[in-house]
Amino acid sequence: MSDSNILEVKDLQVHFPVTEGLLKRQVGSIAAVNGVSFHIKRGETFSLVGESGCGKSTTALSVLKMQSVLDGQIIFDGEDITHHSPAQMRGIRRKMQMVYQDPFGSLNPRMKIGSIIGEPLRVHGMAGDKTRYHARIASLMKTVGLLEDMAERYPHEFSGGQRQRICIARALALDPKLIICDEPVSALDVSIQAQVVNLLMDLQERLGLTYLFIAHDLSVVRHISNRVAVMYLGKIVEEADRDTLFKSPKHPYTKALLAAVPEADPEVEAQRAEQLIIGEIPSLRSPPPGCTFHTRCAEAMPICKQQAPDCRTDGASSLVCHLYS
């Protein structure tokens, strides 16, 4: 693996058991993530997009090893962590942190802000003496644009945007290399989203962070990402650099997804022909045979129903579709 990659995921498989009856007998399994491969270069923002149930969050949790993996390989910072024990993972998690979607559910209401931000330092035995510990918390709060004297307050005294800043400060406490952001702005008001997006970009520039960004809001993804992968039913169907993906999407699902998102401009919208994607996402319990998107695809061919398409890649971008093979 080349040194420029901070994370490499190869052929990741995550299955959930399906149980039945009182004794929870396993009757089958759901492939929530079904052969996902990608890599993230140091200092870039890589986004996973897709609709609910596509496996984007499960992929992120697997990278953190908060989700058991059936098969595949996860290489972080040159180290194969696929079979690491929880104890081994403790050291690794110092270098990868997470920011969650819901800034209300992810902060302990009984802890003061300073203590929340300092918790990773205490857990990992990096708190040091009292003066250094408090100085570190103060500097983290300053970094994310919070005032130092807020450290003695409780989460309920803060608005959604400020809470997300607290979550970001906590994620930064251990000087991580990779931050996984799972829908970090989607719970926030529109006028606050831009503040948090700017903060994430500033921090990346200043601290050389790498982001794995998970979102369904494509306008934010387009703004913040270097490369984007589109997921559908547990698989990556298209991956490309940001400009290629947004300007000339190839996979019919990517096209449909882009067309479904309204642009905030009535003039553009008036000229846009409405092209609706038919149907809804099929159940993962019984995914369609062949290409899993064929049931909703406007360009489906006979072969799509029978045979799953292979992944065609040229290093920079990849595509899983019979139309281009």
- The residue among 179, 146, 178, 180 whose CA lies nearest residue 161 is 146
Residue numbers 15-44 binding other proteins by CB under 8 A: none
From CA 253, how far away is CA 298, in angstroms rounded?
A: 9
From CA 46, how far away is CA 228, in angstroms rounded?
A: 6
HSE (side-chain half, CA atoms, 13 Å) at 115: 10
Using CB under 8 A, which of 68, 139, 159, 313 touches other proteins?
159
Using CB under 8 A, which of 150, 174, 277, 300 touches other proteins?
277
Using CB under 8 A, which of 147, 261, 298, 316 touches other proteins?
261
Provide the minimum distance between the beta carbon of 225 and other proteins in the complex, in angstroms, as a whole number: 8
Q: Could you tell me the CA-to-CA distances from 319 to 153, 243, 246, 254 in Å, in that order?
A: 49, 15, 14, 10
242 binds other proteins (CB under 8 A): yes
Q: At which residue do the structure tokens 């903060």 appear?
A: 199
123 binds other proteins (CB under 8 A): no
231 binds other proteins (CB under 8 A): no
161 binds other proteins (CB under 8 A): yes
Q: Could you tell me the CA-to-CA distances from 165 to 44, 115, 147, 287 in Å, in that order?
A: 21, 15, 11, 39
153 binds other proteins (CB under 8 A): no
Residue numbers 190-219 binding other proteins by CB under 8 A: 190-195, 197-198, 201-202, 216, 218-219
The angle formed by the CA atoms of residues 10, 313 and 183, to the nearest 5 degrees, is 60
How many amino acids of this chain bind other proteins (CB under 8 A)?
A: 43
Provide the minimum distance between the beta carbon of 219 and other proteins in the complex, in angstroms, as a whole number: 5
- The residue among 54, 64, 317 whose CA lies nearest residue 181 is 64
267 binds other proteins (CB under 8 A): yes
From CA 231, how far away is CA 31, in angstroms rounded?
A: 13
Provide the minimum distance between the beta carbon of 56 and other proteins in the complex, in angstroms, as a whole number: 12
**DSSP labels for 201-227?**
HHHHHHH--EEEEEES-HHHHHHH-SE
Give 324's strand partners: none
Using CB under 8 A, which of 21, 266, 273, 315 touches other proteins?
266
Given the rule CB under 8 A, which of 24-32, 34-42, 133-141, 155-163 is the region that contacts other proteins?
A: 155-163
317 binds other proteins (CB under 8 A): no
Provide the minimum distance between the beta carbon of 185 and other proteins in the complex, in angstroms, as a whole number: 11
Cβ-based nearer residue to other proteins, 218 or 304: 218
Provide the minimum distance between the beta carbon of 51 and other proteins in the complex, in angstroms, as a whole number: 4
Provide the minimum distance between the beta carbon of 105 and other proteins in the complex, in angstroms, as a whole number: 16
Using CB under 8 A, which of 276, 286, 314, 315 touches other proteins?
276
HSE (side-chain half, CA atoms, 13 Å) at 6: 21
241 binds other proteins (CB under 8 A): no
Q: Where are the beta strands (DSSP E) in the chain?
A: 5-20, 25-41, 45-49, 71-76, 79-80, 96-99, 178-182, 210-215, 227-232, 235-241, 311-313, 318-320
Using CB under 8 A, which of 22, 274, 314, 315 touches other proteins?
274
Write out the residues near other proteins by the rule CB under 8 A.
51-52, 159, 161-162, 189-195, 197-198, 201-202, 216, 218-220, 222-224, 242-243, 256-257, 259-269, 274, 276-277, 280-281
